[in-house]
């Protein structure tokens, strides 16, 4: 399994994407989602992501060094196509929030 993703010391930025999918066949969604995670990982300023889905709700948080890195990723040509398909075919609703992380705390259980 993955995560939670480790990130450098704050400040950095986070995109919080919460979504509700249509109740319909996959229709290319999974393949595009995988490709978008791969492509995001190649972007300058990308720090990592965590994603989980349950009870019809998806939450993806991605971490970025700067706001301009987020803006550049939003404007990526392949990503723009995926965003259009998301609105037209895959998502019933979503919320996108951009926030500046000011404080972070890590817990790791010690091995007994």
Stretch of residues binding a second copy (CB under 8 A), selected from 30-38, 39-47, 102-110: 102-110
Q: Rule CB under 8 A: say whether 105 interacts with a second copy.
A: yes
Nearest to 59 by CA among 94, 107, 28, 90: 94
- Count of residues engaged in binding a second copy, rule: CB under 8 A: 45
Stretch of residues binding a second copy (CB under 8 A), selected from 26-34, 35-43, 95-103: 95-103
What's the length of the chain?
112
CA distances from 76 to 9, 55, 94 (A): 27, 30, 20
Please say which residue, 80 or 98, places its beta carbon nearer to a second copy: 98
Question: Which residue has 């609703």 as its token pair?
Answer: 93
Smallest distance, a second copy to C-beta of residue 58, A: 7
Enumerate residues 28-87 that contact a second copy by CB under 8 A: 50-59, 61, 87
């Amino acid at each position: 399994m993955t995560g939670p993703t480790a990130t450098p010391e704050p400040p950095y930025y986070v995109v919080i994407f919460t979504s509700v999918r249509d109740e319909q066949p996959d229709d290319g969604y999974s393949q595009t989602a995988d490709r978008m995670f791969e492509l995001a990982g190649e972007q300058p300023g990308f720090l990592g992501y965590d994603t989980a889905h349950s009870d019809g709700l998806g939450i993806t948080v991605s971490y970025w060094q700067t706001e301009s890195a987020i803006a550049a990723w939003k404007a990526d040509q392949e990503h723009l196509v995926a965003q259009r398909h998301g609105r037209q075919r895959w998502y019933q609703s979503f919320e996108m929030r951009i926030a500046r992380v000011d404080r972070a705390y890590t817990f790791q259980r010690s091995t007994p």
